[in-house]
Amino acid sequence: MRNGVIIALAAALVTAGAAAAPAQAAPTHAAPATTTPTQAAPTKTRQAPSVTAREAYLVDTMDGTVQFAKRESRRVPVASLTKVMTAYVVRREARLDDVVTITKADVRYATAGGAATAGLRAGERLTVRDLLYGLMLPSGADAAHALAERYGPGTAKFVAKMNDAAQALGLRDTRYANADGMPSKAYSTARDQATLALAALRDPVIASVVKTPKRVVGKSALHRGHVWRNTNDLLDDGAVGLKTGFTNQAGYCLSFAAVRGGRTYVGVVLGERSDKARFATARKLLDWVSEGAASEGATGGVAEGAGVTLP
């Protein structure tokens, strides 16, 4: 991850907790910078928290300082965090009012793989706006497949666009193989996923979607009714996103953003041992960095000694 990327992307967030109005036009993004994030010198003896996740990363988006890092550059599967990139690419390829027809292949793909679904049925016609909620809240692999088939066109071409976007964002240790994160040879890192989270949150539509607890889509002549609930329990603690993920191969994963003490932090937890543990780890990291800032009497700066890298 590049320090310039973090600061440039974070500047567009302004206040991460503010409501973001949906827009039709997809925003442009700053080109990746070439500098690295800064590590605050550990001149104090404040103990870093014990983290059970295999990989973890936490960044202060205000100045790009790394607050916590554990195996942040190790290439691992990231499960449904993949869908953050899917949403990112869709926002650059589609209009929110485009209508997508759900096919038998979309439904069969999700159910055959045992993936989470948005409960879509063949023949339904939904807008891209609605499908983004179906993609991100219940983590619907059926929604991911439908969007990839439409905006590749075809899944292979869509995945190529995902990898092109990863390269443009400077995600050097990321490779996608599908649009949903089902087990494959795909990989990423906690550090790359933090950079992607910032880029995604800069999009006002994605930022609005990922902090929504529940989305109700009323029945119409084009589709049946749907109620989608966000799988991100961290929203109950004031988080403003972003995405959960799980496969047996990847473990329990979480990409998150939250405001503490007037500062926005973005973090990633990968390979955690349980659903409950991933949220507990995220809360622990956020509480730790907040307490550190308070103990140092910070008024807009990070706590001295907060930048910690674990082997």
Residues marked active site are found at 80, 83, 139
Q: Both tokens of residue 61? A: 């988006």
Give dist(CA 122, CA 101) in Å, integer. Answer: 8
Beta strands (DSSP E) in 248-288 are 251-260, 263-272
Give dist(CA 231, CA 245) in Å, integer. Answer: 9
- Let me know if 218 is exposed, middle or buried by CB neighbors in 10 A (0-12, 13-18, 19+): exposed
Closest CA to 302 of 38, 45, 17: 38
Give dist(CA 13, CA 25) in Å, integer. Answer: 17
Closest CA to 209 of 99, 127, 107: 127
Total residue count of the chain as it appears in this document? 311
Q: Which helix (H) or strand (E) holds 182?
A: none
Q: Where are the alpha helices (DSSP H) in 169-259?
A: 190-202, 204-210
Give dist(CA 40, CA 22) in Å, integer. Answer: 37
Give dist(CA 42, CA 47) in Å, integer. Answer: 10
Give dist(CA 292, CA 46) in Å, integer. Answer: 8
